[in-house]
Amino acid sequence: MPVIVHNDLKITVDDDGFLVNPEDWSETVARVLAAQEGVGELSEDKLDILKFMREYYRKHNFFPIVRFVCKNVHQPRNYVTEQFIDPVKAWKIAGLPNPGETVAAGKEDEDVEGI
Partner 1 sequence: MAKFPKPEELSNIDFAPPRKGWMDLPVEFKPGMFCHGSKPKSLEAVGFPNPRDWKPADADWKLPENWKEIIIEGIAERLRKYRSFRLFMDICVRCGACADKCHFFIGTGDPKNMPVLRAELIRSVYRKEFTTAGKILGKMAGARELTLDVLKEWWYYFYQCTECRRCSVFCPYGIDQAEITIIGRELLNLLGLNIEWIAGPVANCYMKGNHLGLEPHTIVGNLEYMLDDIETITGKRIKPTFNRKGAEILFVTPSGDLFADPGTYTAMGYMMLFEELGLDYTWSTYASEGGNFGFFTSNEMAKRLNAKLYAEAKRLGVKYIIGGECGHMWRVIHQYMDTWQGPADFLEVPKSPITGTVFENARSTKMIHIAEFTADLIKNNKLKLDAKRNDHLKVTWHDSCNTARGMGILEEPRYILRNVVNNFFEMPEDTIREKTFCCGSGSGLNASEDTDLRMKGGLPRANAVKFVHDRHGVNMLANICAIDRATLPPLMDYWVPGVKVAGLHELVANALVMKGEKERTTDLRGEPLPGLEQKEEKAS
**Residues at the site binding partner 1, with contacts judged by CB under 8 A:** 59-63, 65-68, 71, 77, 100-110, 112-115
Give the shortest CB-36-to-partner 1 separation in angstroms.
16
Grouping H, G, I as helix, E, B as strand and the rest as coil, residue 95 is coil
Kind plus residue range of the DSSP H or E element containing 9: strand 9-12
CB of 9 to partner 1, least distance (A): 27
Q: How far apart are CA 44 and CA 81, in angstroms?
A: 16
For residue 5, the 8-state DSSP code is E
Q: How far is the CB of 82 from partner 1 (least distance, A)?
A: 15
Q: From the CB of residue 67, how many other CB atoms can be counted at a distance below 10 Å?
A: 16
